[in-house]
Structures are given as structure tokens and as C-alpha cells.
Amino acid sequence: MNLMTERSLEKAVGDKMNAVVNATKMKGNKVSVFYGSKQALFDVDLDIPEKMVMALIGPSGCGKSTFLRSLNRMNDTIEGCRVTGQITLDGEDIYDPKIDVVELRARVGMVFQKPNPFPKSIYENVAYGPRIHGLAKSRHELDEIVESSLRRASLFEEVKDRLQESGTGLSGGQQQRLCIARAIAVSPEVILMDEPCSALDPIATAKVEELIDELRQNYTIVIVTHSMQQAARVSQRTAMFHLGNIVEVGDTEMMFTTPKEKRTQDYITGRFG
Ligand SMILES: Nc1ncnc2c1ncn2[C@@H]1O[C@H](COP(=O)(O)OP(=O)(O)OP(=O)(O)O)[C@@H](O)[C@H]1O
């Protein structure tokens, strides 16, 4: 086979691989969200494929965070907020009255915009979740969970000699990775991230982005971001929101190179938003 044919074959296989979308982990079906009488989301349908990164993009106020929060029922904590429609996790309705919300939030963890470690030691920040969920039978097992979570969050080497020091004493980027370790420690299946890098400098952002790329081997990730570069770098699927509706969903590379909708094109090229 000559070099040209080999390259075209590789590209064709690569394209085909990119086009494959993993099985659906979470599914939104006609999801509407109201804050009192104000409707923030209108009949949103969205499939979230497992073990991929899905980016939610769109101009300020379009409902990205509202949708993200509805995936682990964080909206339940907002007074006057009401969700209609259906959201499933592995086919199970997460708004079913039988669902234990604490358990749901362990399966669908969340990392917030501003790093929010507890005012406790680095060790305790990570150990807290496994302890309340009874995931460790002994101190030794708990130590192991803490270490492996910090390792997966690419933080262990930086903090291994000061696990008893306060989590709030770390740099912003380290604090955010500590929050990711805390989310990972309870073995979630899905991790929701609401602009996780917006408070970080470019170097800390690059580390968190690298980490997100590694995490997708084991977790389903949904990330809200205002940075088009970040969406393009870290995600494989992208959903574009506008005025409480989904404008377009697709393979990230396709969305950024050949969007189907004019509103997507205008937004990603900075013409509005
Ligand atoms: N707690 C709340 N109470 C009342 N209205 C809210 C609340 N949270 C959000 N909203 C409204 O719902 C709509 C969607 O907001 P949301 O925060 O989901 O948008 P967003 O796309 O995440 O915006 P941003 O990119 O600015 O964070 C907005 O009109 C907003 O004002």
C-alpha cells in the first residue's frame, strides 16, 4: 500500500471512530425548568453519552447551568424552582419519588465554578464523602480511597507530604483539583462541571483540562464553559443552548467546523453572546 492510500485509510478509520457515539448515560426528555413563574428551559431533549465529555455552550442566561443542575437535582435546593419532563440515569427516572437524592448526588457529582474546599484538612476533604456513604471498612481502606482519588485528580504528588494541612491553603488550581478528588472519592458515574476553570490562571486551567481528558476514560463528564477553545479542546460532543432551548447538538469537531445552525456559527465565531 502506498503512503497516500495508507493515510487516507487511517483518516477514514479515524473519522468513523469519531462519529461513534457511546451508549446514552443520561437522557433529558422535554425538560422544562421554572423559577417561580419565569421559565428558564423549554422542552429540552438531550442525550448524554457515557464516558465522553459533553460541553454545554451558549450565551449568558441561556440555561446551561440550569440544565446542568437539573441532572443531579441541585435545582431542588433553589426555592421556587420546578422541573418538568423526564431525566434518566441508566434509564431510571431521577425525579421519581423513590430516588434517594443523596445517593443520586454521589452517582452524579458536581464541581463548581469557584473551588469550594471544606475548611478542613486536604485528607478530610476527600475522606468526608466516602465516610458518610460508608465506602470504607477501615482506616486503611479510607487512606487508600483518599490516595487514589488524589492521584486520579493529578494532585497526590503535590500534597502527599501535607495531607493534614488545610485544603483552603492550596492554590486556586490545586483547590479545584482537590474538589475534583472529592467528587471522585465517592465513585461517581457522572461528573458535572460548571465553568470549572473560570477562576483559574492559564497554567492551572491547562492542568484541569488535561485531567478532564484523562477522567473521561472512566467517567461521563458534562461541562458548562464560556470558552469556545476549552469546549473544542476537552469535549467530544457539544450542545448549543439559546434562550432556554437547544439550538444544535453534535460531534464537537463538526460543530466547530461545520455548524448546521446560523446561531451556532454566530456564537462560536463571537458574533453574539
Ligand atoms: N436561582 C434563580 N432564580 C431565578 N432565576 C434564575 C435563577 N437561576 C437562573 N435563573 C434564570 O434562569 C435563566 C437561565 O440561567 P442560567 O444560569 O441557567 O444560564 P446560563 O446559561 O448558565 O448563564 P451563565 O452563562 O451566565 O452562567 C436566566 O434568565 C436566569 O436569570
- Does some domain include residue 17? no
Within a 10 A sphere around the Cβ of 145, how many other Cβ atoms? 20
246 lines ligand 1 (CB under 6 A): no
pLDDT in tens, 203-241: 889 989 999 999 999 999 999 999 999 999 999 999 999
Among protein residues, the one with the nearest Cα to ligand 1's atom 12 is: 40
- Does some domain include residue 2? no
- Torsion over CA of 104, 107, 113 and 118, rounded to 10 degrees? 90
- Does some domain include residue 50? yes
Structural domain of 55: 23-268
Among protein residues, the one with the nearest Cα to ligand 1's atom 4 is: 35
Among protein residues, the one with the nearest Cα to ligand 1's atom 16 is: 63
**Poorest-pLDDT segment among 5-14, 48-57, 137-146, 244-253:** 5-14
CA angle, corner 211, sides to 205 and 213, nearest 5?
105
Among protein residues, the one with the nearest Cα to ligand 1's atom 31 is: 61
Model pTM score: 0.90
pLDDT in tens, 72-90: 999 999 999 999 999 999 9
The pLDDT of 56-63, averaged and rounded, is 96
pLDDT in tens, 254-265: 999 999 999 999
* Closest ligand 1 atom to Cα of 36: 4
How much distance in Å is there from the Cα of 211 to the middle of ligand 1?
A: 28
What per-residue confidence (pLDDT) applies to 69? 97
- What is the CATH classification number for the domain harbouring 258? 3.40.50.300
Q: Is the pLDDT of residue 40 over 90?
A: yes
DSSP H or E run through 144: helix 139-152
Helix (H, G, I), strand (E, B) or coil at 58: coil
Q: Is the pLDDT of residue 131 over 90?
A: yes
Total domains in the chain come to 1
- Does some domain include residue 243? yes
ipTM greater than cut 0.95: yes
- On the CB side of 31, CA atoms within 13 Å amount to 30
How much distance in Å is there from the Cα of 65 to the middle of ligand 1?
A: 7
What per-residue confidence (pLDDT) applies to 20? 61
SS3 content of the chain, % helix, strand, coil (to 5): 40, 25, 35
42 lines ligand 1 (CB under 6 A): no
